[in-house]
Amino acid sequence: MKDQASGSGMGFFRTAAWVGAVWLAAGTLLAAQDLESAAIVHPSAESWPNYHGDYSGQRHSHLTQITAQNVNELSLAWVFQTDQRAAIKSSPLLVDGVLYFTVPDNVWAVDARSGHMIWHYNRPSTGEHIGHRGVAMYKGWLYFTTPDAHLISLDAKDGKVRWERTIADANKGYWTTMAPLVVGNHVIVGVSGDFDNLPGYLRSFEPQSGEVQWQWNATPPTGTPNMTTGGMTWMTGTYDPELNLVYWGVGNPGPDWNGDARPGDNLYTCSLVALDGDTGKLKWHFQFTPHDDHDWDATEIPVLLTAHVRGRDRKVVAMANRNAFYYLLDRETGEFLHASPYAKQTWAKGIDDHGRPQTLPNTSPSPEGTLVYPSLQGATNWFSPSYSPAARLFYVAVREMGACFYKTEAEYKPGNWFGGGGERPLSGDAAYGAIRALDVNTGAQKWEFRLKSPPWAGVLSTAGGLVFGGSNEGNFYALDGNTGKPLWDFQTGGGIVANPVSFLIDGKQHVAIAAGQVVFVFGL
């Protein structure tokens, strides 16, 4: 369903003349909505055409107008109320002056100049409504996943449905929350569903017809001896156009905390995989946490960059993993190059020369509970890191938090929780959060900005020398990218569980963040 009569921008009066003016402006904006492949591969600095901004996952804006010298002059341009219960987790897209953002079951197109709604799409569904990360765009079409595991294509001009396809069977316990990744003529989506005994996979759809092109399975088929389930693919990957490789993080095995029935490494769970962008064929994999029994998904964002490691410059994939280690891998071969801890961890002595963790004894879940850092939520999680090519720093939002992991029986009964345990909060746990800047080559910490509580918001770096981030307490802030010094702060009034973005409107740089149920856009 499409609703063009609800939503608000700054609470303006809705007179007949005003509505006519808005639709005239919308028509002018939307006539240009046509995102060709070249604009995705090489996006202009003024746009934000996919989840990460570009294929690299660096979440770095090359705009320079907002700087450390003038960021204190940043002020509110407009706000948009969604009138929904769900908090906004999505990263907006910005294409030709229009912002597109989501919560479960909903997509909005909003004029980025004024904050006025152009259209609103709503499709009530069943499934897990735990959040939604955004849409993808190709040509004049948008792609949106639903809580009941469907992929819907909308016309970007008016929000009308073009087609709808099934990603997975929601009746079995699958759901979807991710923003798809468009690679050439492929719309690639993953699945969620680790509350149940389900295998994970990636699936590619043809953008015009919606027909399935290929599927890559993260876990073995049902009936495989000592098989594991899990391996969910619930966050958006990255892509190297030169190598035609798609990089995707894979979630934990199941049952989550009782690994007795799944001996071995449990491939390809807790791994980064590199797939051929046209066929989905596996080119290489690297497993961060073999036989994971702490629910440490490897669904964090794989960031593509160049690092000086082992004596020379290498094209690498960098990841701040949920297990508290920062990794560098060769982008073409998957060769392990480096790992170092970036947060408190008590489960591994270190990482050996082949990239395998040297696990400490007595760190697995136990019936009485085993204290381990980090918690099951990880040293970081789904929210995005950022990388500044100028500063050569990798910025990550860190969760400093431990937990007592416990183990129970894990007998599968359809429709029931299949975790085999869980975690207990620590009594008097001094949990906190931080933004940490890591030397991209070594992972050494260069600076830290402390946060009151472990964050659920990502970061954005800019060519103006800034890092933007958000807190659970509702603070949207800017830091000096070289030193971590706080330079600017705005209290939004809502918890921030999203990633910032930046774009150009009428030649002026803006920064946007969602807080609670509201989108805020700032400019000089």
Residue 63, domain CATH: 2.140.10.10
Any domain includes 413: yes
Any domain includes 1: no
| CA pair distance 302, 334, nearest whole angstrom | 12
Q: Which of 295, 340, 338 is nearest to 314 (CA)?
A: 338
- pTM across the whole model: 0.94
Q: pLDDT tens track of the chain, all 524 residues? A: 434 333 334 433 222 223 333 434 444 455 456 788 888 999 999 999 999 999 999 999 999 999 999 999 999 999 999 999 999 999 999 999 999 999 999 999 999 999 999 999 999 999 899 999 999 999 999 999 999 999 999 999 999 999 999 999 999 999 999 999 999 999 999 999 977 789 999 999 999 999 999 999 999 876 777 778 999 999 999 999 999 999 999 999 999 999 998 999 999 999 999 999 999 999 999 999 999 999 999 999 999 999 999 999 999 999 999 999 999 999 999 999 999 999 999 999 999 999 999 999 999 999 999 999 999 999 999 999 999 999 999 999 999 999 999 999 988 777 677 899 999 988 777 899 999 999 999 999 999 999 999 999 999 999 999 999 999 999 999 999 999 999 999 999 999 999 999 999 999 999 999 999 999 999 99
In this structure, what token pair is assigned to residue 149? 């595991």
Cβ(316)–Cβ(367) below 8 Å = no
Domain that holds residue 365: 8-523
Domain count of the fold of the chain: 1
Pairing state of beta strands 245-249 and 466-470?
Answer: unpaired
| CA pair distance 326, 338, nearest whole angstrom | 8
b/e per residue, 109-131, with b = 16+ CB within 10 A? bbbbbbbbbbbbbebeeebbbeb
Cβ(138)–Cβ(131) below 8 Å = no
Any domain includes 3: no
Any domain includes 2: no
Cβ(494)–Cβ(516) below 8 Å = yes
Q: Is 506 exposed, middle or buried (0-12, 13-18, 19+ CB in 10 A)?
A: exposed
E strand residue ranges, 321-474:
325-330, 336-341, 348-351, 357-359, 370-372, 386-388, 393-400, 403-407, 421-424, 432-439, 445-451, 460-462, 466-470
Active site residues: 295
In this structure, what token pair is assigned to residue 489? 């702060």
- What backbone phi and psi angles, to 5 degrees, belong to 39? -75, -15
Any domain includes 321: yes
Amino acid at 181: L
Cβ(133)–Cβ(90) below 8 Å = yes
End-to-end CA distance of the chain: give it in Å, rounded: 37
| CA pair distance 202, 250, nearest whole angstrom | 10
In this structure, what token pair is assigned to residue 371? 């204290």
